[in-house]
Chain A
Amino acid sequence: MQAIDRNEQEASRPEPRPRTFILTGIALLLLLALTAGLSWVNLGLFNTPVALLIAVAKALLIIFIFMEVGFSKKLIWIYAAIGFIWLGILFTLSLSDFLSRNYLHIPGK
């Protein structure tokens, strides 16, 4: 029964086509050109946030299409997400300390 269920799921799951991969590759190179070009423009405080947003877009394209997470079962989605969630916890807790150290103006802190 379990095997039949799996086969049904397999049949309904679409597989990425080579065309999708090639278009994704072109999109990634265009995003690289965009971020490389934008780095020469002074956006004030926004240079790094914009560059990181483009990096996130590139990473999502790689994860969902090249790594085929977008075509995988939900279990893979959870595992793909969990590493980044832990990373989020690491950054949130650590930076809440480092970024707030000057708030109290305590000498030596």
Chain B
Amino acid sequence: MTSAPRLVGEQFDDLEQQQEACSLGMWVFLCTEILLFGGLFLSYAVYRHAYPQAFHDASHDAEYWIGTSNTAVLLISSLWMALSVHCARTGRRKLLLLFLALTLIFGLAFLGLKGLEYYLDYKKNEVPGINLPVTDAFSRQKEMFWTLYFFMTGLHAFHLTIGCGLVALILILAWRTGYNAKHYAPVEVTGLYWHFIDIVWVFLYPLIYLPGRH
């Protein structure tokens, strides 16, 4: 109780108002993020509509099994994150540390698999501007798929890297000071960001890996 006044910023009446402002602020940021990724999704829609066959063929060469495994890894990491927020709110310190560590491990596993996938893409000569052969109009259309693939998954991986850094920071803070029902906004806000990254991937997965399967 004695530590409560220290936690409240002077612009807020009480902790609860501060908590609400934190999560609302994160949602405002996420709105801008939706539009940042939205521009890339729009580019994908325009080019897929223009070059349906090239996108189908190029998607066939994408690493389906790595993409599918990574989707599962990220969905499970979101479950660990949701449980982390719950444990922070209910003041269960040990479980909070466990779930945050699991979130971080799964996030890093995703990045590891993504790195492996990029390596395989490189080995299969699928990197535009480096080794993707562009000989005719059709291969130029396929180049568009791979360009969008690297930009979209790259921007997503960049966000996830930041997410892993935030989770690591929250993990250290949870270990040193702990969170409770009155003070858990940092965990909640990090959670919102993490789930958003998950949502972006949920839409990337069917657009990149699935069109070329059938």
The docked-state distance in angstroms from the alpha carbon of A53 to that of B30 is 22
In the complex, the answer to whether B46 meets A67 with C-beta atoms within 8 Å is no
Contact partners of A80 in chain B: CB under 8 A: 27
Q: A32-B68, A86-B34 are in contact. Are A79 and B27 (CB under 8 A)?
A: yes
Residues B113-128 near A (CB distance < 8 A)? none
In the complex, the answer to whether B30 meets A39 with C-beta atoms within 8 Å is no
Considering the complex, give the chain B residue whose CB is closest to the CB of A41.
B214
Q: A32-B72, A98-B46 are in contact. Are A76 and B38 (CB under 8 A)?
A: no
* Contact of B155 with A by CB under 8 A: no
Q: Which residue of the partner chain, among B24, B49, B82, B89, contacts A15 with CB atoms under 8 Å?
A: B89
Q: A25-B75, A95-B45 are in contact. Are A18 and B83 (CB under 8 A)?
A: yes
Contact partners of A29 in chain B: CB under 8 A: 72, 75-76
The docked-state distance in angstroms from the alpha carbon of A99 to that of B35 is 21
- B interface residues, how many (CB within 8 angstroms): 50
Q: A54-B206, A55-B205 are in contact. Are A83 and B35 (CB under 8 A)?
A: yes
In the complex, the answer to whether B72 meets A84 with C-beta atoms within 8 Å is no
* Contact of A104 with B by CB under 8 A: no
Q: In the assembled complex, how far is the CB of residue B188 from the closest CB belonging to chain A, in whole angstroms? A: 8
In the complex, the answer to whether B45 meets A83 with C-beta atoms within 8 Å is no
Q: Which residue of the partner chain, among B17, B198, B207, B213, contacts A62 with CB atoms under 8 Å?
A: B198
Q: In the assembled complex, how far is the CB of residue A65 from the closest CB belonging to chain B, in whole angstroms? A: 7
Secondary structure class of chain B's binding surface, majority of residues: helix
Q: A62-B198, A63-B199 are in contact. Are A24 and B79 (CB under 8 A)?
A: yes
* Contact of B97 with A by CB under 8 A: no
In the complex, the answer to whether B24 meets A79 with C-beta atoms within 8 Å is yes
In the complex, the answer to whether B13 meets A3 with C-beta atoms within 8 Å is yes
Q: In the assembled complex, how far is the CB of residue B26 from the closest CB belonging to chain A, in whole angstroms? A: 9
Contact partners of B191 in chain A: CB under 8 A: 66-67
Q: A28-B75, A80-B27, A94-B46 are in contact. Are A55 and B203 (CB under 8 A)?
A: yes
Residues A19-69 near B (CB distance < 8 A)? 21-22, 24-25, 28-29, 32, 35-36, 39-43, 47-48, 51-52, 54-55, 58-59, 62-63, 65-68
Name 15 extra pairs, CB < 8 A, besides A10-B16, A32-B68, A54-B206.
A15-B89, A21-B79, A28-B78, A32-B71, A32-B72, A36-B210, A39-B210, A39-B213, A48-B207, A62-B195, A62-B202, A79-B27, A87-B35, A94-B42, A98-B46
> Could you jot down 10 A-B contacts, CB within 8 Å?
A3-B14, A21-B79, A29-B76, A36-B68, A79-B24, A82-B31, A83-B35, A84-B34, A86-B38, A90-B42
Question: B residues engaging A (CB < 8 A)?
Answer: 13-14, 16-17, 20, 23-24, 27-28, 30-35, 38-39, 42, 45-46, 49, 68, 71-72, 75-76, 78-79, 81-83, 85-86, 89, 191-192, 195-196, 198-199, 202-203, 205-207, 209-211, 213-214
